Structures are given as C-alpha cells and as structure tokens.
Amino acid sequence: MPPLRLLVALPLAACAGCVGLRSPDGIVTQPFRGITLISRTESSPRPVRMHVVLVDLATPGLSFKLSPPAGARDAVRQTTLAFLRQEKAQLAVNAHFFVPFPSPDTDVDLVGLAVSAGRIVSPFEPQPVSAGFPDQSYAILAHAPALNLDPGNRAALVRRDPAYPDGRHTLPRVTLWNAVSGSAQIVTDGAPTIPTYTGAPGGLRPANNYSDARSWYALPRARTAVGLTADGRRLVIFTADQAAGSAGLTVAEVARFLVRDYRVAQALNLDGGGSTTLAMQDPVTGEPRLVNTPSDPPPGRAVGSSLAIFAAPMPARGAAKP
C-alpha cells in the first residue's frame, strides 16, 4: 500500500485558524486538535470535488454525538448545519438513510443501527425496515453493519448478533455509545467490497431497474462514507459533491480513494445524494458554515441523522502545549 502522501504537509498546517496549505492532495488544514481537513479536486475519473476529515481518535477532549431520538418515529429531520449549530459542535456530517423519503413528513425512521450517547435510536433492521415502507434492498443490505464509537472513542465495526431477534446486540460485543449504519460495508480488510445482485444470499435484490448490469452503486452521485484505519486510531470521513461543477463518484470509486490515499481498512457507505453534507464551525469566527456544496439548495437537505464531532481549538501559534 502506498504511503499516506499528505503527511508531509501536516506539520506546517498545525496552527490556530490555519490558512490552507496546498499539497499534492489539495488544501490541507488542521482547524481543531486532532482534526485534519483535506479539500481536493480531481479531474479523473471525472471532475469531482472531495472533502476528507481525518480524526485522530487518541486526541484528548475529542467526543462525538449522533442525533438523539425525537418525534413520533426515530428522529425529526434536521439539516446537518442546524445540528452543528444546535450542539455547538466543531464538525458534523450526515449519517443514516431514512424513511419515508421523499415525503413531507418531518418525523422519520432511521435505517439500520443508530445509537446516540448510549441510547439505541434504531436497531439493526431487515429490508423493508417495517410494514408500510418500501423495500430498498436494491441499494441497502438487510442488517447492514455499523460503526460504533464507545465512550473512550474506541471505534469498531459491528454486526448484528443473530442470536438475538431484537437487533440490539452486536458482534463483537462492545459498549454501544454512538453508532452509525449505512447501506453496506464498502471496504473490508483494506479491499473494496461493493455488494452485487448475484452474490451471496441476503445481498442486493434486483428492483427499480437495478441489477449487476446497472448497479445502484455504480452511478456517480454525491457520496458520504466513513472508515477506519487498520490500527483503529484514525476515523476517516469522506464526502464527494455532485454540484457546482463536481460530478460525483460511484461507490467503488469512493472505496478506491479511501484505500489508496487514506489507508482505510474498513468503511461504510452512508446516505448520499442530496443528503451529503459536511458542516464545520469556522475556527476563527466561530460561525457554523458548510464545507461542501450540497446537491440540495443551501443549507442542505433536512436529514434523519447527523454525527457531530467536538474538538478543542488549536493552540495559538507559539503557545506552549498543555
């Protein structure tokens, strides 16, 4: 596996309210302790703009929070930017697929395991998630795995324990604290693992004109993904835009970028399209702002859940570290 090329730039970017440093991988900044933000534009496989957040999970003072349960269903829709502002977080990214959609309903059910500060918002689920909702198995695997961040920021990919029918128990057994689930695991042990329609039982089902010849995963779209390096010490949040001249990525392309450029060993595909939103508190002004350009008009789509990241400010230039 090639070295992580952007590392040569990181020490120069470590400053309070740092100005972006251009490297071969784009603009690299460290807006908060333990947080590296990379904004890059590529011309291949098509014009695309990506934003990548590298989170050092060993950083003191770092914490997370998934959108808590609310409303008559699992959650009440809210833009990621509004969630960032509400929680006074430093970063936030959209997370779960949700139903019903499209719909004017503001109360929604999240798809798959969702845990917020130790409260299970949604269990592992089949497809469809329940009676009355459409079968989305052309895109979302039943009982898709989840990423859990425990109270000590130990991260692990977890799967449903089939010994328990309630979908609230995991393998391996961990302390569920903040957990996000997506459509499928797209990187496994450092290799892309894109689900197919003719693979193992329980995989994707052909529907809505999707099949191996025309896969839902093979369409260039705005994308959100989350991954872990092999040592479990770095969380990688990845977004790709499909707006303002950026043409999006297929899920396989996302997986290749994650493996090749960011040493990701395990990764999940989260809700994308118009839901893809990355928001950040400006490290200088303190004002919340969008980092990416959502496909939906600003301030972005009201989504079912977002994952907030809380981090300490960078020390002032020349200041002694505590």
**Is there a contact between 95 and 113 (Cβ–Cβ < 8 Å)?**
no
Structure tokens at 319: 């200041």
- Find the mean pLDDT for residues 288-304: 96
Q: Is residue 298 part of a domain?
A: yes
Give 125-161 pLDDT, tens digit per residue: 999 998 889 999 999 999 999 999 999 999 999 999 9
Give 33-61 pLDDT, tens digit per residue: 999 999 999 999 999 999 999 999 999 99
pLDDT at res. 20: 52
Give 88-135 pLDDT, tens digit per residue: 999 999 999 999 999 999 999 999 999 999 999 999 999 999 888 999
Q: Report residue 320's pLDDT band, with 50, 70 and 90 as the boundaries.
A: low
Percent of the chain's residues with pLDDT above 70: 90
Q: Which amino acid is at 26?
A: G
Domain of residue 209 covers 5-12+24-310
Chain-centroid distance, C-alpha 293: 16
Q: Is residue 319 part of a domain?
A: no
Q: Is residue 178 part of a domain?
A: yes
pLDDT exceeds 70 at position 249: yes
pLDDT at res. 201: 67
Compute the CA torsion angle 294, 298, 303, 308 (nearest 10 deg).
80
Q: Alpha-carbon Rg of the chain, whole angstroms?
A: 19
**What gap in Å lies between CA 315 and CA 302, rounded to an integer?**
34
Pairing of strands 21-23, 26-32: antiparallel
pLDDT at res. 52: 98
Q: Is residue 17 part of a domain?
A: no
Q: Report residue 319's pLDDT band, with 50, 70 and 90 as the boundaries.
A: low
How many domains are there within the chain? 1
Q: Is residue 266 part of a domain?
A: yes
Chain-centroid distance, C-alpha 265: 15
CB atoms within 10 A of CB 113: 28
Q: Is residue 18 part of a domain?
A: no
Name, in order, each residue with C-beta under 8 angstroms of 77's C-beta and a sequence gap of 6 or more.
Answer: 98, 105, 106, 107, 108, 302, 303, 304
Structure tokens at 120: 């299970």
Q: Report residue 1's pLDDT band, with 50, 70 and 90 as the boundaries.
A: very low
> Where is 109: in which H helix or E strand?
strand 107-110
The model's pTM is 0.92
**What gap in Å lies between CA 128 and CA 38, rounded to an integer?**
36
Phi, psi for 162 (deg, rounded to 5): -65, -10
Q: Is residue 302 part of a domain?
A: yes
Q: Is residue 19 part of a domain?
A: no
pLDDT at res. 38: 97
